[in-house]
Structure 1
Amino acid sequence: MKMVTLLSGNDMPIIGLGTFKLRGRDLIHKCLQTALEAGYRSFDTAAVYKNESDIGDCLIELLPKYGLTRNDIFLTSKLAPKDQGANRCREACLTSLTNLKTEYLDLYLIHWPGTQGRKPGDQDNPRLRRDSWRDMETLYKEGKLKAIGVSNFEQRHLIDLLESCEIQPHVLQTEHHPHLVQSSLVEFCRHHQIHFQAYASLGTTTDNNKLLTDPTVISIAKNNSKTTAQILLKWAIQQDIGVIPKSSNPDHIKSNMDLFSFELSKEDLARISGLDSQHHYCWDPRGIL
């Protein structure tokens, strides 16, 4: 497993298992077991996924079976938009720790730059996320969070945060794939030593898997004797961008980890990047003040 050393000093696997829409203890147990067997050591969840408690239970049961302890895995969760703001953020984070049955999180993210119940242009949005960040800085100093970051932030949101924070964000997790290449945001993060982690690397089923069925991606996959999913994920990690693919299919979970046995050529990387259409398949934060 390739590791990324965050500005906080801790190491983060470049590949993690996403758990969005994974619900129910039996399904989560099966997915986590398959992932651990395949070599995953990073797991990404969020309060809004409503699966933290089941993930916590399953990890407590499964880790000893593979000779692992809590310290051997990297666990990420996120602040729900409804819990944005001073003290609310702290309470929400402590609830996530309780649900996940852990004394600390390896990474905690502000899930969204806005606040639930407030309009995108609400003048309080910047203040509320700054208040959340101060809570997270305190939790980081207390050792309850090993690294802190944000999700779905645009560059202007990051600039606002960098101007007011004491501890800068260690990670930005956001939508990034060949149909939404965020080159300037990637470069901004690299300049500020913020690890860039992509979600929705494979697109979404609601958009009929347009990424997985893209003719260019299919052609490159055939030439490399790999799946289209492996090509899309490799495109990211070969650029040192983290990925957190989600799947409930055991075969897909395993194959999504098999990304270190091949390299894409410069020509293939360029062809894939050339598919950019600036299309969001998921949340679009552009309207959030």
Structure 2
Amino acid sequence: MTLNLQSTVTLHNGVKMPWFGLGVFQVSEGEEVYNSVKWALEHGYKSIDTAKAYRNEEGVGKAIRDSGIPREELFITTKVWNKDQGYEETLQAFEGSMERLGLDYLDLYLIHWPLPKLNKYKETWKALEKLYKEGRIRAIGVSNFKEHHLDDLLSEAEVVPMVNQVEFHPHLQQNSLRDYCKKHQIQLEAYSPLKQGRLLDEPILKEIADRHGKNTAQVVLRWDLQREVVTIPKSVKKQRIEDNADIFDFELSEEEMQQINSMNKDERIGSDPDEFNKY
């Protein structure tokens, strides 16, 4: 798979989404998020992923505007937070996010968590479908949805989600979910692809990295792409933002891919979507 930093995957509705982007989870509003987004865009990133819950949409929006990059060249994602689930609540939350971001339209809007105990994600999805049909969002999707949440959603949905953003890394490979999404043409997207830094000293990864003259983070991010998973690593350091994107001049062999595939432990660093009910 020959790719570069601007390479895209075509979602099932024809919209092109970059394979690689910057995530800003746990990046502080103000100077920190502004600089992270600024550095990423200056380096050639085209995709930025935020959420209402991250409380940094304003800084993201300011960095986008100040970059001078034509809006149509960028791919911006945000998410509906849990307390905003429900039809009218979601429509209102969307307006709030758009105001904070300072955008006229959104490239991707996601339901942040299924929250099965609340059981409002189908109402929330109806609101996303409305906004999508009105042309205010180019693509809609979900985050942290397991197969059974998707089954339930698809039983009533008019529009199949284009994306499912989930925790995905060598210790949590979610193979059955990946297969499910592929079958339904839902693009899988990885957050916490480096397990928040906890993978970086793994001997297998170090050995592969040394072989290619790369670091272990670059090996993992390359593995994501070769598994056809969109990836959005987070960093607040300029050099690391640049290094993370330096993964397009090498390729992992089939044997190296299998070595990393063998690292799966079904081990999360984040919450289990069946149990997470934070508002």
TM-score band by shorter chain is over 0.9
Q: Are the aligned partners of 2:140 and 2:161 in contact in 1 as well (CA < 8 Å)?
A: yes
- Output one character per residue of 1:25-61: Cα deviation in whole Å (capped at 9) or x when no partner: 2222221221112110000000000000111122111
Which residue does 1:202 correspond to in 2?
Answer: 194
Pairing 1:112-123 to 2, within 5 Å after superposition: 112-114=113-115, 122=117
How big is each residue's C-alpha offset from its partner over 1:153-207, in whole Å with a ceiling of 9 and x where there is no partner? 0000001111110011000000011000111111111111000001110112xxx
Answer yes or no: is 1:100 the counterpart of 2:101: yes
1:275 has 2:232 as partner? no
Tell me what 2:139 maps to.
147
Residues 50-108 of structure 1 deviation map (CA, whole Å, 9 limit, x = unaligned): 0001111221112x2xxx21111000000001111120011001110111000111000
Q: Does 1:171 align with 2:163?
A: yes
Match of 2:39 among 11, 14, 34: 34
Kept in 1, the 8 Å contact 2:165–2:190? The answer is yes
Q: Which amino acid aligns with 2:70?
A: T
Equivalent residue number for residue 117 of structure 1: none
Residue range with higher mean Cα deviation, 247-256 or 24-33 = 24-33
Give yes or no for contact 2:221–2:231 (8 Å, CA) kept in 1. yes
Q: Amino acid of the residue matched to residue 264 of structure 1? A: L
Listed as ranges, the matches of 1:62-73 within 5 Å are 62=67, 64=68, 68-73=69-74
TM-score (norm 1): 0.91
Alignment partner, residue 175 of structure 2: 183
State the one-letter code of the partner of 2:261: S
CA RMSD of aligned residues (A): 1.3
Cα displacement string for residues 202-246 of structure 1 (whole angstroms, at most 9, x for unaligned residues): 112xxxx33111111111111111011000101110111000000
Name the structure 1 match of 2:201.
Answer: 213
Residue identity in the other structure for 1:57:
K
- The Cα shift of 1:286 comes to 3.2
User: In 1, Cα distance between the equivalents of 2:12 and 2:104?
Assistant: 21
Contact 2:35 2:63 in 1 (8 A): no
> Aligned to 2:247, what secondary structure does the other structure show?
coil
Residue identity matched to 1:175: E
Matched, 1:248 2:236: yes
What does residue 3 of structure 2 align with?
none
1:287 aligns to what SS in structure 2? coil
1:283 deviates by: 2.0
SS of corresponding position for 1:168: coil
Query: For the residues of structure 2 that align with 1:58 and 1:265, how far apart are their CA atoms?
Result: 38
Percent of pairs with identical residues: 41
Structure 1 residue identity aligned to 2:247:
L
C-alpha distance in structure 1 between counterparts of 2:55 and 2:109, whole Å: 16
Query: Per-residue CA shift, 1:238-260, capped at 9, x if unaligned?
Result: 11100000001111100111111
CA displacement 1:113-142 (0-9 Å, x = unmatched):
01xxxxx6x3xx33x100000000000011
In 1, Cα distance between the equivalents of 2:248 and 2:30?
A: 31
Runs of 4+ in 1 over 3 A off after TM superposition: 286-289
> Where does structure 1 lack aligned partners over 5 or more consecutive residues?
115-119
* Counterparts of residues 47-86 of structure 1 (less than 5 Å): 47-62=52-67, 64=68, 68-86=69-87
Distance in 1 of aligned mates of 2:26 and 2:276 = 24
